[in-house]
Amino acid sequence: DGGITQSPKYLFRKEGQNVTLSCEQNLNHDAMYWYRQDPGQGLRLIYYSQIVNDFQKGDIAEGYSVSREKKESFPLTVTSAQKNPTAFYLCASSPGTVHNSPLHFGNGTRLTVT
């Protein structure tokens, strides 16, 4: 079945360590996105990529980095510079602009940093 796979579902790290969250899609979508969800807040955009080897900062990119070497993959690295990394991270994809098709989301990774 086509979809978006985020792994792992739960991730625990010590403060000061970088951690990379995986996102893979087999929908043949051009665009991919990373959002973060915190309690009582909406989803906030971290980074997005409209084509391979290109990506743009979202609203809260500080302390994060991404790469888009393959169409299917858009990993997110949470660096030690991110002040509040504990959150629920959601990856999404779309064929093009959202006007053509809504975003399809993965089931998320809950990251806990202690």
Binding site for another protein (CB under 8 A): 4, 6, 9, 31, 33, 35, 40-45, 48, 50, 58, 90, 92, 94, 96-99, 102-108, 110
- Smallest gap from residue 101 Cβ to another protein (A): 9
Structure tokens at 2: 């086509």
For residue 4, give the 3-state DSSP assignment.
strand
- DSSP secondary structure, 78-113, as one string: E-TT-S---EEEEEEEESSSTTTS--EE---EEEEE
Distance of CA 106 to the CA centre of its chain: 9
Backbone phi and psi for residue 67, each to the nearest 5 degrees, phi listed first: -145, 155
Task: Closer to another protein by CB, 16 or 42: give it.
Answer: 42
Task: Closer to another protein by CB, 12 or 81: give it.
Answer: 12
Task: Closer to another protein by CB, 15 or 27: give it.
Answer: 27
- Smallest gap from residue 28 Cβ to another protein (A): 17
